[in-house]
Amino acid sequence: MLEHLPDRLDGREILSRFKDQRHCDEQKKPDPTKEVIHTSLSQKNLVDATKKTAQTIVSKFLQIDKNTPGAKVKENPGRALRWSPVHVEVLDPSVPLTLVAMKSIDLEGSLRAETIHFHLFKTAVTGNSPEEIYKSYITLLANQTTEIGSINFSFRGNGRAQNYHRIVYQRFLNQPNGIKFSEILMKAGESFVSAYAREKQETQTAEFTAGQIDAICWLWNNGYRPEGPEDEEKFQKILETNTNLIVGENLYVFDSKIKKKDRTKENFRDSLRIKFVKKFQPPTHQDAETLIKTTHDQATAI
């Protein structure tokens, strides 16, 4: 059904079609304030560094449990989470651009999830002990000026890696130096899921839910596909700019029956939300043998 579509979609082109049909609410002008992060590393170097880090911290992530010393419990309504630092790395000391990996464990409720959280900060996270690192991390989050963005994946032992939060703050988008923080965070998350699948020796399905035109195109361009027939149908309606759809605040797509006053980002759950998935399979025995042979051949050549 979707085989005819290109590997990449242009969200601006799709949005323009909704505007041509007058099926787009007046969009709020984006915040003109932009903050440029002057990195000494290229986009490729930053992506490679985050991928390498994400792949190497899975075993430590799995070792951390609810009894790990230094963990902190944060109470939420109907939910308690135990937080532990997994890894802190300064990717680019010139900023300093810092990648922080945290693990949260649900202590009550029905979720019982273990979640990896990746954050990018434009400043260093300080501390030597888990308690000190956690305190610095929480302080920076509360500051709301130093975090560039974040992404997470939750694991519940069912072969699914569910994303329920990802963001790169508006002021850090469209960097003039070609740095794309959304790609850096996505590759960190995907590399972790891939390594998790290898560690557990079972396929992991990464799962995102999106209802915004730009997020939908971003996921498609990163190799994610609608999970089932219902999701494919919604996806097709958006691509065809179905006249029963209207683009509301923050590019969320709503059914035209939703009143304009309700087509807001706060009511995102009423938007046309689509579940996208991408599978990450552990290497087969043959893959492992090929890797060993390739490594041996390279060593012999050297």
Q: Are residues 138 and 21 in the same domain?
A: no
Same domain for 88 and 121? Answer: yes
Is residue 240 domain-shared with residue 273, that is, in the same domain? Answer: yes
Is the pLDDT assigned to residue 97 strictly greater than 50? yes
Q: How confident is the model at residue 302 (pLDDT cuts 50, 70, 90)?
A: very low
Same domain, 95 and 141: yes
Distances (CA, A) of 42 to 56, 101, 171, 176, 180: 22, 22, 20, 12, 10
Q: Does position 299 have pLDDT exceeding 60, yes or no?
A: no
For residues 236 and 219, state if they share a domain.
yes
- Across the range 264-291, mean pLDDT stands at 84
How much is the average pLDDT of 134-143? 94
- Please indicate, yes or no, whether residues 2 and 57 belong to a single structural domain of this protein: no
* pTM of the predicted model as reported, rounded to 2 decimal places: 0.89
- Residue that is last in its domain, among 202, 224, 248: 202
Asked, for residue 251, whether it belongs to a domain, the answer is yes
Say which range, 50-64, 107-121, 141-155, 248-262, has the weakest mean pLDDT: 107-121
Per-residue pLDDT reduced to its tens digit, 142-197? 988 999 999 999 999 999 999 989 999 989 998 989 999 999 999 999 999 999 99
Give the residue-averaged pLDDT of 288-298.
Answer: 48
Residue 224 falls within a domain, yes or no? yes
Per-residue pLDDT at 292 exceeds 50: no
| 90 contacts 124 by C-beta, under 8 angstroms | yes
Q: Are residues 26 and 125 in the same domain?
A: no
Residues 19 and 52 in one domain: no
171 and 243 share one domain: no
Is residue 302 in a domain?
A: no
Clarify whether residues 230 and 177 are in a common domain: no
Domains held by the chain: number: 2
Please report whether residue 220 resides in a domain.
yes
Peptide bond into 69 cis (omega under 30): no
Residue 32: predicted pLDDT? 57
pLDDT bucket at 265, cuts 50 / 70 / 90: very high
Expressed as residue numbers, the domain containing 35 is: 31-202
Is the CB of residue 85 less than 8 Å from the CB of residue 134?
yes
